[in-house]
Amino acid sequence: SQQGEEDPQALSIQEGENATMNCSYKTSINNLQWYRQNSGRGLVHLILIRSNEREKHSGRLRVTLDTSKKSSSLLITASRAADTASYFCATDAGETSGSRLTFGEGTQLTVNP
């Protein structure tokens, strides 16, 4: 079953604007990861945030995690047309679960030039 739920399902913005995507989950996690998928391709790992972290940055990416609300957000600042892709959150419950990832439904981001 899909644990993660993401919103919005689709987001269309202009180049230079910021894009924010949200993810909610249901069970306890060891870490939460964000992945990007270009159309028809495999997924690429973007960033990982552990359950004891609240915020993490990587270049133009900023991820927050609120374990009390079981939610995370991904912010892409100063977006570019090349950021157009689907973005997925994935929760990892740890080694006791076989280090499985449970993916959300994804947010389709379109950045217009």
Partner 1 sequence: DGGITQSPKYLFRKEGQNVTLSCEQNLNHDAMYWYRQDPGQGLRLIYYSQIVNDFQKGDIAEGYSVSREKKESFPLTVTSAQKNPTAFYLCASKILAGGSNEQFFGPGTRLTVL
Cα–Cα distances in angstroms (integers) from residue 22 to residues 28, 90, 99, 113, in the given order: 17, 12, 23, 23
Per the CB < 8 A criterion, the answer to whether 39 and 32 are in contact is no
Closest CA to 61 of 78, 77, 49, 45: 77
Q: Can residue 103 be called a binding residue for partner 1 (CB under 8 A)? A: yes
Nearer to partner 1 by Cβ, of 6 and 79: the residue is 6
Taking residues 37 to 56 in sequence order and writing x for each that binds partner 1 by CB under 8 A, - otherwise, the string is ---xxxxxx--x--------
Q: Can residue 29 be called a binding residue for partner 1 (CB under 8 A)? A: no
What is the contact surface with partner 1 in residues (CB under 8 A)? 1-2, 4, 30-31, 33, 35, 40-45, 48, 88, 92, 95, 98-106, 108
